[in-house]
């Protein structure tokens, strides 16, 4: 817990240093202050808005995910399959050095699984009915190892911090650009900002938001490689490769809701730059090469 708080504080300090350096190098601080824009107040506003949504989403992630897919948490196993699932998660969690997450099943015939939760020792691992039906126990174990790897690596917290950072940058610089357009290009000298500020801010936020999404998606793909390595370690490399190959053979498209799509074992995007996951072929090849 203290490690996560330290990471949060260091992240905020990093944001302050980077933004402060940029505005000083380009002389924006003096120029905008002279023209009536308080950069310090804007930065605090951007930081609060940028991180608040991300942190609230993280704290609510378990409940949101359960509702989104209709997941049933296994309190007491109803059959041998559920008992094996619970025992497997417990064994892998112990090997990963974390407290056993909640285990859930959701009724979807596409093979998928996800992990989420605000804290390493209070997480959720959920698997689809389709995953249990389409894979053997060795492959399912590898998928569970992959998801527990996400939890042990603290991927949910790290992704939240990254999202908060890029949100802060987008909000801050979109408004700086809007103000500069309003005062310098359109030469608005009234006390209030004009329509140019609003239009320029919105356009800048869209452009910067796309660039920010590329950064977040790049990290999301990177953490999938790390979780694959975790699955290979917690189960076996052969099992993890076999599980990814089983996903590649499946004719069912992954159907996780948008808000938790990046947490699934299998995900696709329209373009590689905006995809939450690398291709299954790339992941299989990387596991084989790193053996």
The residues annotated as belonging to the active site are 147
What is the largest distance, in Å, between two alpha-carbon atoms of the chain? 74
DSSP state string for 118-182: EETTEEEEEEEHHHHHHS-HHHHHHHHHHHHHHHHHTHHHHHHHHHHHHHHHHHHHHHHHHHHII
The answer to whether residues 126 and 256 touch, using CB atoms and an 8 Å cutoff, is no
The neighbour count for residue 164, using CB atoms within 10 Å, is 23
Burial of 41 (0-12, 13-18, 19+ CB in 10 A): exposed
Query: Rounded to whole angstroms, how far apart are CA atoms 162 and 170?
Result: 12
DSSP state of 106: E
At 100, phi and psi to the nearest 5? -60, 125
The answer to whether residues 89 and 101 touch, using CB atoms and an 8 Å cutoff, is yes
């Amino acid at each position: 817990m203290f490690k996560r708080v330290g990471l949060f504080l260091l992240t905020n300090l990093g944001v302050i240093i980077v933004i402060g350096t940029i505005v000083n190098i380009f002389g924006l601080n003096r120029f905008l202050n002279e023209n009536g824009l308080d950069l310090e107040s804007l930065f605090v506003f951007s930081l609060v808005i940028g991180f608040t949504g991300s942190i609230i989403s993280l704290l609510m992630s378990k409940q949101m995910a359960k509702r989104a897919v209709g997941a049933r948490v296994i309190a007491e196993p109803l059959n041998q399959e559920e008992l094996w699932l619970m025992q497997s998660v417990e064994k892998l969690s112990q090997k990963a050095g974390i407290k056993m997450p909640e285990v859930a099943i959701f009724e979807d015939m596409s093979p998928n699984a996800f992990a989420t939760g605000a804290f390493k020792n209070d997480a959720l691992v959920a698997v689809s009915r389709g995953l249990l039906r389409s894979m053997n126990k060795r492959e399912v174990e590898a998928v569970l190892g992959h998801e527990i790897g996400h939890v042990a690596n603290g991927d949910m917290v790290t992704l939240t911090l990254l999202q908060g950072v890029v949100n802060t940058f987008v909000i801050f610089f979109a408004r700086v650009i809007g103000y500069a357009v309003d005062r310098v290009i359109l030469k608005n000298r009234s006390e209030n900002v004009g329509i140019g500020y609003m239009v320029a801010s919105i356009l800048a936020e869209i452009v910067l938001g796309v660039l920010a999404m590329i950064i977040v998606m790049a990290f999301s793909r990177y953490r999938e490689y790390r979780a694959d390595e975790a699955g290979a370690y917690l189960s076996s490399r052969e099992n993890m490769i076999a599980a990814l190959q089983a996903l590649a053979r499946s004719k069912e498209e992954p159907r996780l809701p948008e808000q938790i799509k990046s947490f699934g074992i299998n995900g696709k995007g329209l373009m590689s730059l905006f995809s939450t996951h690398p291709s299954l072929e790339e992941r299989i090849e990387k596991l084989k090469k790193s053996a």
